[in-house]
Amino acid sequence: MFGGKIGAPEIILILVVVILLFGAKKLPDMARSLGKSARILKSEAKAMKEESNASTQASGSNEQSAAQRTIQAAPGDVASSRPVNEPTDTTQR
């Protein structure tokens, strides 16, 4: 329909439709929750990467101590933070 090219008129039309559907009042809340989700995803990806690096360095020992991390939705937001127990690897190699 558009020939594979999305220009400024199409983007403006999409934004107008989104504002009409969701209303201007709810858009800041939606953007805030999307930002929180992105921060959580980023912190989890970073933790998994660090955990992977730590497990490859300590691959010689089968026992790893169960560390407890705290996941925060936003920096300084202590109301929604919760401690998380990391699962331990109980499989035999």
Contacting residues for 69 by C-beta, under 8 A, at least 6 apart: 47, 83, 84, 86
pLDDT score at 37:
95
Residues of the chain with pLDDT under 50: 60, 62-66
Contacting residues for 86 by C-beta, under 8 A, at least 6 apart: 51, 66, 67, 68, 69
Is 4 strand, coil or helix?
A: coil
Q: Please report, for residues 7, 68, 88, the alpha-carbon distance to residue 59 in angstroms, rounded to integers and kept in the order given.
A: 52, 20, 14
pLDDT score at 75:
63
R_g of the chain, CA atoms, integer Å: 22
pTM, two decimal places: 0.41
**What type of residue is 8?**
A
pLDDT score at 12:
92
Structure tokens at 5: 């090219």
